[in-house]
Chain A
Amino acid sequence: MSGHRILIALRGNEVAWRFDKTAEALVCDIDDSGGVVSRSEIIFARFSAEDMCEYVLAHNIDTVVAGAVEEEYYHYLRWKRVDVIDNVAGELGPVLERLAQGRLGSGDILFPESGA
């Protein structure tokens, strides 16, 4: 399949500030032209980075987006050839928009009121 499957770790309407402290995620497929062609919300039974990693590998996720990702999980996902865009802070809308445009990078801060 062409396109890209993304998992965004969420906490409410924001990118989860801690990958290991959330049980919510949005999984979406982005086609080659930058369109979001499918999206589904996942609720895990508990806060667990292990569960999240397991899901990522089992569902052929290409890229994970989150706030803080501890190095153990970061390197594990990278080792499994999953791209990790971490240290992202912002609400889902702007993050997804920038992601679809292929312009989201690690460390991006997308809260409008931030001083960055």
Chain B
Amino acid sequence: MVAATDKAVWFAESVLDLPDFFDAMPIGAAVYDSLGRVLHLNAYLRRLTGFGQSEARGLPCRHVLRTAVCGQDCPHLRQGGCDQSLDTDIVNRARRKIPVRLSTRLLRDRHGETLYRVDFVEELAQRGTDGMLTKKSGLGALIGKSEVMEDILSVLPEFARSDRPVLLVGETGTGKDLIAELVHESSLRSKRPFLRMNLGFLPANLLEAELFGRAAEEGSGLEEIRGRFQEAAGGSMFFPELSDAPLALQQRLTVFLDTGTVCPQGRETPFPVDVRLMFATQRSPEELAAKGLLDPEFYKRLSIFRLDLPPLRERGEDLPFLLAYFAERFAERFKKTVKGFSPDAMSILAEYPYPGNVRELRNIVEYAVMTSKSSLILPANLPVYVPVRSSAPGAAGLAPAAAPGPGPDAPKARAGKARKESTGKRSAT
């Protein structure tokens, strides 16, 4: 058998400039020998995985791609390519989980003997919390036909055309994350990274290093950190809660917005980086500013492209539309024959205030479809915290109307305790 290094030499020294060809490809490609060891990672995949060519060469593919299916549903273990692509995810060296589509092909010689296996890796958009892909939905993913949603839909293309920072204000579940993603996907940056960064997650001392990078410091044991700005170069960064940004960081971000440069910790010279910033908040920016939690100069720059997202209770005409939309999608996903809601269930859902907005509505419908055993969703299929009026038929003695809702994620948390609902009775638990 030809050793991996010999094949690597052949691959590198072939009359065809294969490494250059692979490097020019707009998707990730990894070339392996017959034992599944890496011979070549193209430029795209080096960026995606964080592995350098020399680090990856000779390693078993599972230690480089690190997909969720490595070791289980591996094309290499099947001794062949796979006809169909596989949607999975990888975790790269920067510890990011990235959804990908993996396709495998074999390169054979004239005699049919396998020379190489090649994995093609296409980066996918993040999935929504309902497990549905958001990237390919385009503006259609933003559901609603009320006037206020029409207005939002009409300004998004303008937002997408600009490079100015964006500020999205709205309660939880109103679609801030989705809109940020849509602005990115509709912009010229759509082929570049969209990085979502939760500023409340990191300790303050690591925050700036994570964002802007850090030079390695000899003797101190401090590793080099490639900042998120560098990773997002050419793309967009989204910060889901503005109020998590400390004032000092806001001031540094103001400098970035003015100069387009960042300076990693431990370095003295800033360098330019092209990243568009988007922020969201559940809180009132004016209130944050009044409390001294929002730097006035920073706020001034953010407020140019500001979008206030309405809560669901102010989008009355969207409610039946959204209920039908999610019922149809979840019915398809759970292979149910659900066609809609009974008048009683619809009446209950119309009166519910949805403190968790669209996210909560979606969770309620998911639960209802999951527990439904007929073509119509009945009151019995609704989560117990959705209050039932005592006058509603079949609702006598059930949960009090003022029962507080446990929050937008409750239906999922309760899915494991699904009630016996086949009789059509709801029992308060």
Interface residues of A (CB under 8 A from B): 11, 14, 17-18, 20-21, 67-71, 74-75, 79, 86-87, 89, 106-107, 109, 111, 113-116
Bound CA–CA A67/B344 (angstroms): 53
Residue of A nearest to B203 (CB): A79
Residue of A nearest to B52 (CB): A116
CB contact under 8 A between A114 and B91, given known A11-B71, A89-B63: no
Contact B95 A18 (CB under 8 A): no
Q: How far is the CB of B222 from chain A (nearest CB, A)?
A: 12
Q: Which residues of A contact B71 (CB under 8 A)?
A: 11, 17, 21
Q: Which residues of B contact A14 (CB under 8 A)?
A: 60, 63
Contact of A18 among B37, B57, B59, B70 (CB under 8 A): B70
Contact B4 A113 (CB under 8 A): yes
Q: How many residues of B contact A (CB 8 A)?
A: 30
Judge whether B109 is part of the interface by a CB distance below 8 angstroms.
no
Judge whether B66 is part of the interface by a CB distance below 8 angstroms.
yes
Residue of A nearest to B35 (CB): A113
Bound CA–CA A89/B64 (angstroms): 9
Contact B56 A115 (CB under 8 A): yes
Interface string of B41-59 (1 = CB under 8 A from A): 0000000000001111111
CB contact under 8 A between A21 and B70, given known A68-B91, A70-B91, A106-B223: yes
Bound CA–CA A111/B91 (angstroms): 20
Contact B58 A67 (CB under 8 A): no
30 contacts between A and B (CB under 8 A): A11-B71, A14-B60, A14-B63, A17-B63, A17-B70, A17-B71, A18-B66, A18-B70, A21-B71, A67-B63, A67-B66, A68-B92, A70-B96, A71-B94, A71-B95, A75-B201, A79-B203, A106-B223, A107-B93, A109-B59, A109-B63, A111-B60, A114-B55, A115-B5, A115-B8, A115-B53, A115-B56, A116-B57, A116-B58, A116-B59
Q: Which residues of A contact B350 (CB under 8 A)?
A: none
Contact B91 A69 (CB under 8 A): yes
Q: Which residues of A contact B95 (CB under 8 A)?
A: 68-71, 74, 86
Residue of B nearest to A88 (CB): B63
Judge whether B97 is part of the interface by a CB distance below 8 angstroms.
yes
Q: Which residues of A contact B90 (CB under 8 A)?
A: 68
Contact B91 A115 (CB under 8 A): no
Residue of A nearest to B3 (CB): A113
Bound CA–CA A20/B96 (angstroms): 13
Contact B55 A109 (CB under 8 A): yes
Judge whether B192 is part of the interface by a CB distance below 8 angstroms.
no
Interface string of B234-274 (1 = CB under 8 A from A): 00000000000000000000000000000000000000000
Bound CA–CA A18/B8 (angstroms): 26
Residue of B nearest to A68 (CB): B91
Q: How far is the CB of A63 from chain B (nearest CB, A)?
A: 15
Contact B68 A21 (CB under 8 A): yes
Judge whether B62 is part of the interface by a CB distance below 8 angstroms.
yes
Bound CA–CA A68/B92 (angstroms): 7
Judge whether B107 is part of the interface by a CB distance below 8 angstroms.
no
Contact B66 A114 (CB under 8 A): no
Residue of A nearest to B202 (CB): A75
Residue of B62, B95, B96 with most chain A CB atoms under a 10 A cut-off: B95
Contact A115 B66 (CB under 8 A): no
Q: Which residues of B contact A11 (CB under 8 A)?
A: 71
Contact B59 A111 (CB under 8 A): yes
Q: Which residues of A contact B60 (CB under 8 A)?
A: 14, 89, 111
Q: How far is the CB of B225 from chain A (nearest CB, A)?
A: 12
Bound CA–CA A87/B95 (angstroms): 9
Contact of A111 among B8, B63, B93, B94 (CB under 8 A): B63
Q: Which residues of A contact B92 (CB under 8 A)?
A: 68
Bound CA–CA A114/B54 (angstroms): 8
